[in-house]
């Protein structure tokens, strides 16, 4: 019953935000880099912060340092959505937020390179998550897959409160209802993509530290492959990797090839779900087996990705230039 009440409350909070966004003209206007053609409310992903906030207060203020970091990350991302902040301000807040997350995870008690790795991976994944939020439903489907996988593993590993994950999934369900549509009611915005990335990374970090198994980082494999290879290609083409673009594979498939964008979003989430199940099975094997399976999986995914993208670029993209 409590979960039903929380779900209904989150729906109400999202609808209230829509009224505020509409009144203050917080909208996403399409441009030549966009994958949408209609004016759409921006920042609907703020519901992820609302969901975790409800958990924070109901649980008796569990994970306080993480919550402070998430609050800072949410505020700066929301301001960036409506004002466009400088990269220096955003990176400074990201740095502080990651340090707070690391403190919550007790990483400061570990060797210094754990903190360095945490900072690099977290900031990298947050920015990748933000860049990958380009078509209806992709953030929703992909995050639901990761959240579901974390909930399954948590039943045995107990690395985090299950309610923390449930409240996050309830927030995702509300956002999915409004976003997973041909004509989306809202987009996640930076506030949504950044906050859900921060939330899931906190849970994933807790899992890796508790289990001691780095193989779980492959819960992010699909986004990682697309983001990393896209960055490498843009560097090769001497493009500004921080500028807006439409050169991810999912964008080519949706915009140039013309595949239904909701189907693409579902496919990204579904593939990650399948890989996640393989990861869960692999985690029960010896460490050396985990390493080799991870390497083989990443190599195979990269080859398939590069083959498909090269074909799409050659046949559909360059013909339009």
Helix spans in the chain (H): 2-23, 46-58, 64-83, 87-104, 112-132, 138-157, 162-179, 189-211, 221-236, 249-251, 261-282, 287-312
92-106, 214-228, 232-246: lowest mean pLDDT where? 232-246
Q: Residue 238: inside a domain, yes or no? A: yes
Q: How confident is the model over 54-78, as pLDDT tens digits? A: 999 999 999 999 999 999 999 999 9
Name which of 89, 86, 94, 85 is nearest 124 in CA terms: 94
Q: Residue 187: inside a domain, yes or no? A: yes
Domain region containing 21: 2-26+41-320
Name which of 12, 13, 93 is nearest 46 in CA terms: 13
Q: How far separated are the first and last CA of the chain, in Å rounded?
A: 55
Answer yes or no: are the C-beta atoms of 227 and 128 closer than 8 Å.
yes
Residue 133 pLDDT exceeds 60 = yes
Q: How confident is the model over 20-35, as pLDDT tens digits? A: 998 888 887 655 454 5
Q: Residue 115: inside a domain, yes or no? A: yes
21-35, 49-63, 82-96, 153-167: lowest mean pLDDT where? 21-35
Q: Residue 204: inside a domain, yes or no? A: yes
Name which of 304, 34, 51 is nearest 166 in CA terms: 51
DSSP SS3 for 62: coil
Q: Residue 94: inside a domain, yes or no? A: yes
47-56, 103-112, 169-178: lowest mean pLDDT where? 103-112
CA dihedral sign, ordered 120, 121, 123, 124: positive
Q: Residue 35: inside a domain, yes or no? A: no
Answer yes or no: are the C-beta atoms of 48 and 175 closer than 8 Å.
yes
The residues, any chain, with a CB within 8 Å of residue 87's CB and separated by 6 or more, are 242
Distance of CA 297 to the CA centre of its chain: 21
pLDDT of residue 262: 96
- Could you tell me the CA-to-CA distances from 9 to 3, 22, 43, 51, 219 in Å, in that order? 10, 20, 18, 9, 30
Instruction: State both tokens at 259.
Output: 């595949």
Q: How many distinct structural domains can be found in the chain?
A: 1
> What is the H or E stretch that residue 41 is in?
strand 40-41
Q: Residue 36: inside a domain, yes or no? A: no
DSSP SS3 for 27: strand
Q: Residue 33: inside a domain, yes or no? A: no
């Amino acid at each position: 019953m409590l979960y039903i009440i929380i779900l209904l409350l989150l729906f109400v909070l999202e609808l209230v935000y829509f009224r505020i966004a509409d009144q203050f003209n917080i909208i996403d206007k399409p441009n030549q880099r966009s994958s949408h053609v209609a004016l759409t409310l921006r920042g609907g992903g703020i519901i992820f912060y609302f969901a975790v906030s409800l958990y924070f207060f109901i649980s008796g203020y569990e994970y306080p340092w993480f919550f402070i970091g998430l609050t800072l990350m949410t505020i700066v991302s929301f301001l960036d959505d409506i004002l466009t902040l400088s990269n220096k301000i955003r990176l400074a807040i990201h740095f502080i937020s990651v340090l707070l997350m690391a403190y919550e995870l007790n990483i400061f008690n570990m060797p210094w390179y754990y903190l360095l790795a945490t900072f690099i991976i977290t900031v990298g994944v947050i920015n990748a998550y933000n860049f990958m939020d380009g078509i209806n439903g992709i953030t929703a489907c992909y995050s639901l897959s990761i959240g579901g996988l974390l909930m399954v593993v948590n039943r045995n590993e107990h690395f985090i409160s299950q309610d923390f994950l449930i409240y996050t999934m309830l927030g995702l369900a509300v956002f999915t209802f409004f976003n997973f549509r041909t004509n989306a009611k809202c987009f996640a915005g930076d506030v949504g993509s950044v906050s859900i990335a921060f939330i899931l990374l906190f849970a994933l970090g807790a899992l890796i530290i508790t289990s001691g198994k780095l193989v779980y980082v492959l819960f992010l494999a699909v986004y990682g492959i697309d983001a990393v290879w896209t960055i490498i290609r843009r560097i090769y083409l001497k493009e500004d990797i921080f500028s807006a673009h439409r050169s991810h594979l999912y964008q080519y498939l949706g915009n140039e090839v013309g595949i239904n964008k909701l189907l693409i979003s579902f496919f990204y989430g579904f593939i990650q779900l399948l890989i996640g199940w393989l990861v869960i099975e692999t985690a029960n094997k010896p460490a050396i087996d985990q390493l080799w399976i991870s390497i083989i999986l990443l190599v195979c995914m990269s080859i398939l990705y590069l083959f498909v993208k090269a074909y799409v670029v050659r046949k559909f993209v360059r013909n339009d230039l």
